[in-house]
Structure 1
């Protein structure tokens, strides 16, 4: 897989894991906190196994700033989907407008 494409695919997958690690437990508010922490930690390990190689591979063709920006935009897109589909929370116009402004900032990183 191309070093242009592989980091994007791997960062999407890693962000799915990280979103579940950080926010998945919110659907289970009665679960004991120590169990939530251990499960989240295990899920986060999978995220690191994808994110670290994604950044190593991606750094062949992208700057560190571009990789970080890419990761943040991917995080927002994954989180938006997760929030609506898994947590059953709605996104308002203000969330979408805020995400759009962040996307505009990301475009500046890749433009010059």
Structure 2
């Protein structure tokens, strides 16, 4: 598999876990905060075990700013999945437009 594909796949899974760690607990508001923090850190540790190799592999073919642009785009897209599928929260047209502008910015960075 090419470094580009490997990087994007690892960053996609990494960002999915990152968004689960950051926002997934919102579904469990009654859970004790200490437990939520502990579980989120555990998920984040797994997320980092994917993200760090993704950046190492990706830096063979992408610059650091390009890697960040790819990561931000994937972060937004995986956030949509967590927000809608896990939390059951839709995204308004105005929010969608804002996120789209953020993705346009990231694409401009990656295309450099």
- Count residues with an aligned counterpart: 112
State the secondary structure of the residue aligned to 2:2. Answer: coil
For residues 23-42 of structure 1, the aligned pairs below 5 Å read 23-42=23-42
Distance in 1 between residues matched to 2:16 and 2:110, nearest whole Å: 23
The Cα offsets for residues 13-34 of structure 1, whole Å up to 9 and x where unpaired, read as: 0011111111111000000001
Give the aligned CA root-mean-square deviation in angstroms: 0.8
Indicate the residue corresponding to 1:44 in structure 2: 44
Distance in 2 between residues matched to 1:21 and 1:101, nearest whole Å: 25
Structure 1 outlier segments of 4+, above 3 Å: none
Cα pair 2:16 2:78 within 8 Å, conserved: yes
For residues 15-94 of structure 1, the aligned pairs below 5 Å read 15-94=15-94
TM-score by length of 2: 0.96
TM-score by length of 1: 0.96
Give structure 1 stretches of 5+ with no counterpart.
Answer: none
Residue 107 (structure 1) shift: 2.2
